[in-house]
Amino acid sequence: MAKINQSPNTIQTAAIASASELVMRYGDQVLLDGATLAIHEGERIGLVGRNGCGKSTFLRIVAEELKPDSGKLAHRKDLIIGYLPQTFELDESATVMENVLSGAKHISDLIDEYETMDSESSKSGELLDKITHLDGWSLEQRADSLINHLHAPSADKEVKTLSGGEKRRVALCRALLARPDFLILDEPTNHLDTEAIEWLEVFLSRYKGACLFVTHDRYFLDRIATRMVELFRGEFISYQGNYTEYLLARAERMATEELQEHKRQRFLKKELDWVRRAPKARGSKAKSRIDAYFEVAEKDAPEQDLDVDLIIPPAPRLANKIIELRDVGMGFDGRRLFDHLDLDLEEGQRIGIVGRNGLGKSTLIKIMLGELEADSGTVEIGKRTQINYVDQNRLALDDSKSVWEDVGEGNQYVRLGDENISLRAYLKRFLFTDDRINTKIELLSGGERSRVLLAKILKRGGNVIVLDEPTNDLDLGTLRMLEEALTGFRGCVIAVSHDRYFLNRVCNGILAFEGEGVVKYNVGNYDYYLEKRAEGSKAAKTGSSSVVSGAKIEKVREPARKLKWKEEKELEEIEGVILAAEEEVAQLEASFAAPDFYENHKEDWKELEDKLAAEKKKVSNLYARWEELSAIKAACEAGG
């Protein structure tokens, strides 16, 4: 049965689909073990869990593309389903528009039938009512709108000419077109830029049907989900609310389980002492006490959800020159991507590269790595610079090899700085048990393959890590560990990403491709960049800002200027202000974690939630301001 953490005021609507006691195995691996879940009208359910735990398998079962080993699946009669799987098929010989329209074939069929039917027929009126109810007459306009807002390729392009990311956007348009009763989306934000993700958030927040989705985008989960369901050890645990509320409720549940296990162990210890001291002749009461002991002893301790222990080898020492771009320009097919672009990478910088697809982000990375030659300008790599590049397709895995063979590449040890660690111990840090270490790559889940790739890539080390969409296909636990590892990395990080949460946690600088050849650099995280951009837009409307020319990077800090007296004072005091703000956040989070929080705050819990969000944003802004002031001071000192 699904365990449910639910607020007392939750109103339950009618179920449109339900899964009961589902069991699904692949060899020795049990993905679903009596899993039960009901999906209700209007719900937007975020499904989370460790990579390889069976999330995509469950979506396939609910979409009726896969049959479970046992259990029952039920749908409401005449339920219309829209489904975006991880692995999808498009008609390669057809155009983008034809593929998108195929997502509403049931509506197109009604229109075709209506148009070939005698207008005087009684069925003609019924068909017209159905088509009108489904808003069928506006199908092409809706398809155009989806293609435009999700930044899919132009409608007349043939699918066979598209990249993998472009095809995925077409498949997403196809799933959304019919406005089905039930949307099932597996990683809908993959290969979408930030602007398209934000549009999709608005679309789904207004969507009247039910939606079940898997995503690694934590902001998307926060803004869209009305219920979170965790797949853990083959069963579902359900939490009302969004991702933040899920984290709080899950922490409370785990704390309760730990307390209960502590009490159980204390009871067992006490009873075991009694059993050892008790005389051999025991009466019925003593026998009953012994029976109670064994009954409690046979219960299993709560299973722990282990996290990946990501290791990035220590960064070799960097020289003063790391990567230096001077007056770099690049164009394709007569279109200029950027011109006059300058960049000096500095030790400790973690730069997030953002912007719409097709503006030149990956092209810039390839120029920096020497894989492409720029039309103009120069690129210099420092003598001590060792680049570890993680591209969108990452490294190829050999499906015929085992995890051990592919990651080890003939070695039984992995070199981490000055130490050697056994390959088995290294793989266990990526949550590969002894039996999974020897499993063939072809038999792994998508999530397990991602962990193999990370293990294979990160062991190469380097002092400049370059990542192109690093968050795709990683579960939330692994993402958190990757973020912590990158934040603690003493070299440099350059990451092309649309994951706003990742950009905020990891990056201390944002390089933004804003379109029309404009590229800007801001010190600070992604939220701080958005604030500065909004301020710039406001200033532009009032005519108080200068026009940006070309694509030269504009840094927020003024080069080689001194801090003003007020700024010096602000920098001296800001650490104390940050500590106070973090303490406020910690106190608020502690109050939310209290078991009786919602009972004590029935009237003001929403205000406290808003206050917590505001305080977190304040901390983020303070850190960004600290980075900015420190950068100005460092630049001034470096300039003499």
Q: Which residue has the higher pLDDT, 485 or 97?
A: 97
Categorize the per-residue pLDDT at 636 as very low, low, confident or very high, splitting at 50, 70 and 90.
low
pLDDT of residue 395: 55
Nearest CA to 200 out of 185, 210, 181 is that of 185
What are the tokens at 40?
């209700």
Write the single-letter amino acid at 195.
E
pLDDT of residue 513: 92
pLDDT digits (tens, 9 = 90+) for 180-217: 999 999 999 988 888 899 999 999 999 999 999 999 89
**Mean predicted confidence (pLDDT) in 292-304:** 61
Q: What is the DSSP letter of 218?
A: H
- Asked if the model's pLDDT at residue 244 lies above 70, the reply is yes
Using only C-alpha atoms, what is the Rg of the chain? 28
pLDDT of residue 11: 55
- Asked if the model's pLDDT at residue 99 lies above 90, the reply is yes
pLDDT above 90 as % of the chain:
33
Query: How far apart are the C-alpha atoms of 171 and 166, rounded to whole Å?
Result: 9
DSSP for 358-426? TSSHHHHHHHHTTSS--SEEEEEE-TT--EEEE-TT-SPP-TTSBHHHHHHTT-SEEEETTEEEEHHHH
pLDDT digits (tens, 9 = 90+) for 133-152: 888 898 999 999 999 999 99
- Provide the terminal-to-terminal Cα distance of the chain, rounded to the nearest Å: 68
pLDDT of residue 457: 80
Q: Which residue has the higher pLDDT, 548 or 116?
A: 116
pLDDT of residue 8: 40
Write the single-letter amino acid at 301.
A
Q: Residues 199, 149: contact at Cβ < 8 Å?
A: yes
Total Cβ atoms within 10 A of residue 297: 12
pLDDT of residue 17: 94
Query: How far apart are the C-alpha atoms of 467 and 622, rounded to whole Å?
Result: 27
pLDDT above 70 as % of the chain:
83
- Asked if the model's pLDDT at residue 224 lies above 90, the reply is yes
Q: Residues 221, 245: contact at Cβ < 8 Å?
A: no
- Asked if the model's pLDDT at residue 22 lies above 90, the reply is yes
Categorize the per-residue pLDDT at 543 as very low, low, confident or very high, splitting at 50, 70 and 90.
low
Helices (H), 309-369: 361-368
- Asked if the model's pLDDT at residue 558 lies above 50, the reply is no
- Asked if the model's pLDDT at residue 484 lies above 50, the reply is yes
Least confident range from 183-192, 236-245, 280-289, 572-581: namely: 280-289
Q: What is the DSSP letter of 27?
A: T
Query: How far apart are the C-alpha atoms of 367 and 522, rounded to whole Å?
Result: 21
pLDDT of residue 559: 43
pLDDT of residue 57: 93
**Mean predicted confidence (pLDDT) in 473-501:** 85
pLDDT of residue 325: 92
Query: How far apart are the C-alpha atoms of 101 and 93, rounded to whole Å?
Result: 14
- Asked if the model's pLDDT at residue 284 lies above 80, the reply is no
pLDDT of residue 370: 86
- Asked if the model's pLDDT at residue 277 lies above 80, the reply is no
pLDDT of residue 193: 86
Categorize the per-residue pLDDT at 7 as very low, low, confident or very high, splitting at 50, 70 and 90.
very low
Total Cβ atoms within 10 A of residue 202: 12
pLDDT digits (tens, 9 = 90+) for 449-469: 778 888 888 888 889 999 888
Q: Residues 256, 273: contact at Cβ < 8 Å?
A: no
Residue where the block lists tokens 């890539």: 457
pLDDT digits (tens, 9 = 90+) for 401-448: 898 988 888 888 888 777 788 888 888 888 788 778 888 888 887 667
Residue where the block lists tokens 């989306």: 185
Nearest CA to 476 out of 455, 502, 507 is that of 502
Tell me whether residue 302 is exposed, middle or buried, using C-beta atoms within 10 angstroms of its C-beta: 0 to 12, 13 to 18, 19 or more.
middle
Q: Residues 186, 213: contact at Cβ < 8 Å?
A: yes
Least confident range from 241-250, 447-456, 514-523: namely: 447-456
pTM of the model: 0.68
pLDDT of residue 4: 47
- Residue 282: HSE in the Cβ half-sphere, 13 Å Cα cutoff: 15
Least confident range from 67-81, 377-391, 599-613: namely: 599-613
- Asked if the model's pLDDT at residue 15 lies above 80, the reply is yes
Write down the mean pLDDT value for the chain.
82
Provide the 3-class DSSP secondary structure of residue 234: coil
